Amino acid sequence: MSDYIKVKNPATGQVIKEIRINSEEEIKEKLKKGHDCFKKWAKVNAHERSRLLRNWSRIIQENKTEIAEIITLENGKPLSESLGEVDYATSYIDWYAEEAKRIYGRTVPASSETKRIIVTKQPIGLVAAITPWNFPAAMMTRKAAPALAAGCPFIVKPAVETPITTIKLVELAHEAGIPVDVIQYVNGSGTKVGELFTSSEYVRKITFTGSTPIGKLLIKNSADTVKHVTMELGGHAPLIVCEDADLDFAVQQALLTKFRNAGQTCVCANRIIVHEKIAKTFSKEFAEAAQKLIVGNGLDKGTQIGPIINEKGYNKIINQINDAIEKGAEVLAGNQFIADREKGYFFVSPTVLANVKLNMNIMHEETFGPVAPIITFKSLEDAVEIANSTPYGLAAYFFTNNYKTGTYLSENLDFGIVGWNDGAPSGSHIPFGGMKESGIGREGGLEGIEPYLETKYLSIGNF
């Protein structure tokens, strides 16, 4: 890698900005600064930390249009989605500005009259975050807000594809009054910075959103210094449509979860599993609606599907489609591409595949693109077996109006997030995270601040 990251607009392949890569010395220096300010930041009272977070959220909202345009320029998603992402990002700050004031301890009845027992929570120390390109604002604040609320300093390395959003958010945090060493960013390759973060004696916690293989490496490398980890990793979400489902609603929700951010989210439906009796009707309606989605530059009015982030992502999608077609899948919509490898832009039209079989790669590999494979099922037991036959366990969706079917599915699906007649379950108020190889820990909600806190227990004797 050269000394600069060339940040490209994925819709055109044009370089929009060059961002300087930090040297090893600079990163170590920043880690030290983050560590050195820990005690001071931890002592700032919770109401003041809350006030600073509210300031940050307000200033981000004042700059909402500019930030949304940056997101669209470097990530490619439609501007309407970027505007939504800014709101999603500040919702985490607003939530944790409140949670800062609710970090409670407790007293425990002692086993002897001469003792008193008090349990308290205290911040864990310097938190190092590695954030992804698919939600450059929201994934950063989802980590920064609980860390800062808990009293931890925070240092973040954004994805090389989307560093500009992070730089802007950190600058606004400083403008909001959060001390410069308390929230910092560094730029560089994931491998290099990951090594520096995991080997640093100053870092007490690593929080990461990204692929499962990288997550595993970060967990391994954190072992030597026994760091806490929160890992939000890959997914392969099933979406089950039962015989009694409200079909129009299921189609509309499936479109929402499948094609948000051009299918480039960890919680996107990756496999659509439909009861054989309604499969034909569902597939027809779904394919017709998918076909109508407008593909283009995220800055153009009306665009609903932006570009694929890069050539590697594009190749993976093409390979999965070709593999499925070779093994007998039928194309109901899409399978059209606008790409220029030289210029560096890649668009895939929303693609719907029917007659899908379990031996196709798309049924096992995360797609991260606008491709929807449809497979059918006969019994609920089959549907659950197909759904759970993956090492991932992040999100699952199902559509039914029968409470017994719904209860059976919700109890038997091995996923951290389950949407019952709901294709959009994300939010700052809910514990987001996965089972199995989809991760460790939860982000958001009441659970999302715990990973930034240590529990200390005080036993007072001689009463």
Residues recognised as catalytic: 232, 266
Nearer to ligand SIN, 73 or 267 (CB): 267
Stretch that binds ligand SIN, among 121-129, 194-202, 262-270, 296-304 (CB under 6 A): 262-270
Nearer to ligand SIN, 99 or 232 (CB): 232
* Distance (Å) of CA 137 to CA 23, 74, 124, 348: 24, 12, 24, 24
Q: Which of 87, 154, 156, 158 is nearest to 126 (CA)?
A: 154
Establish if 203 lies at the interface with ligand SIN (CB under 6 A): no
Handedness of CA 420, 424, 426, 428 (dihedral sign): negative
Q: Is 175 helix (H, G, I), strand (E, B) or coil?
A: helix
Establish if 266 lies at the interface with ligand SIN (CB under 6 A): yes
Q: Which of 141, 162, 198, 209 binds ligand SIN (CB under 6 A)?
A: 209
Site size with ligand SIN, rule: CB under 6 A: 9
Nearer to ligand SIN, 215 or 344 (CB): 215
- Residue 200 CA to its chain's centroid (Å): 25
Q: In the bound complex, what is the minimum distance in angstroms from residue 394's beta carbon to ligand SIN?
A: 8
Handedness of CA 279, 284, 288, 289 (dihedral sign): negative
Nearer to ligand SIN, 232 or 285 (CB): 232
Interface of this chain with ligand SIN, residues 117 to 146, rule: CB under 6 A:
134-135
Nearer to ligand SIN, 151 or 423 (CB): 423
Q: In the bound complex, what is the minimum distance in angstroms from residue 431's beta carbon to ligand SIN?
A: 12
* Distance (Å) of CA 294 to CA 151, 258, 262, 383: 44, 15, 11, 32
Q: In the bound complex, what is the minimum distance in angstroms from residue 426's beta carbon to ligand SIN?
A: 3
Q: Residues with Cβ < 8 Å from 48, sequence gap 6 or more?
A: none
Establish if 212 lies at the interface with ligand SIN (CB under 6 A): no
The binding track of 348-367 with respect to ligand SIN, each residue x by CB under 6 A or -, is --------------------
Q: In the bound complex, what is the minimum distance in angstroms from residue 432's beta carbon to ligand SIN?
A: 6
Q: Give the residue at shortest CB distance from ligand SIN.
A: 426
Establish if 426 lies at the interface with ligand SIN (CB under 6 A): yes
Q: Which of 23, 454, 27, 41 is nearest to 200 (CA)?
A: 27
Q: Write 245-252 long-range contacts (CB < 8 A, 24+).
A: 245/278, 245/399, 245/400, 245/401, 245/421, 246/399, 246/401, 246/421, 247/278, 247/281, 247/282, 247/285, 248/285, 249/399, 249/421, 250/282, 250/399, 251/282, 251/285, 251/286, 251/289, 252/289, 252/423
Compute the residue count for the chain: 463
Q: In the bound complex, what is the minimum distance in angstroms from residue 263's beta carbon to ligand SIN?
A: 10
Q: Which of 267, 279, 329, 380 binds ligand SIN (CB under 6 A)?
A: 267
Establish if 231 lies at the interface with ligand SIN (CB under 6 A): no
User: Which parts of this chain interact with ligand SIN (CB under 6 A)?
Assistant: 134-135, 209, 232, 265-267, 426, 432
